[in-house]
Structure 1
Amino acid sequence: MTIETVRSFLGWCSVINMGLLLYWFLFIMFAHDWVYRVHSRWFRVPVEKFDTVHYAGMIYFKLAVFVFNIVPYFALCIVD
């Protein structure tokens, strides 16, 4: 496996993961009530806690994408 292959892989992983993050964010922003109703069938969670859990999840997901995909991608761009 060459550096070019790994760099391409990390680039596409970054694009896909940021797309998933954008989808999650838009879904929570525009379909918040529907998502809350679906989740409240399974879990008894107040709206404030629901929002906190989702936004914290988005933050951790974004941090993981940056640490494991985007930073290594740029490091390989610098090395190559």
Structure 2
Amino acid sequence: MTQEFLTTVFGWMTVLNLALLVFTTLMIVVSQDWAAKIHGRMFQMEPGDAKKAYFRYLANYKILTIVFCLMPWLALKLA
């Protein structure tokens, strides 16, 4: 594997993960109350707790995307 190939792979990984993050964020913003009711019933939790779980999910996904996709891509670009 060449550095050029790895740079391309990490670049596309970053783009795809950021696109999924944006899509998920939009879906949660648009259908937050509806989804919180359904997930609250599915997992026996209050809708408020489900909304907190959504925020935690988005925060963790963003951190993981930055650490495992964006930073390696940036390091390979700078190398």
TM-score between the two structures when normalised by the length of structure 2: 0.92
| Distance (Å, rounded) in 2 between the aligned partners of 1:55 and 1:36 | 12
Letter in 1 for 2:75: A
Higher relative contact order (CA 8 A, sep 6+): 1
Q: Count matched residues.
A: 79
Give 4+ residue runs of structure 1 displaced > 3 Å after superposition.
none
| Distance (Å, rounded) in 1 between the aligned partners of 2:51 and 2:7 | 35
TM-score between the two structures when normalised by the length of structure 1: 0.91
Percent identity, aligned pairs only, is 28
Query: What is the RMSD of the two structures over their aligned residues, measured on CA atoms?
Result: 1.0
By how many angstroms is 1:59 displaced? 0.6
Matched, 1:7 2:21: no
- Stretches of structure 1 that go unaligned for 5 or more consecutive residues are none
- Stretches of structure 2 that go unaligned for 5 or more consecutive residues are none
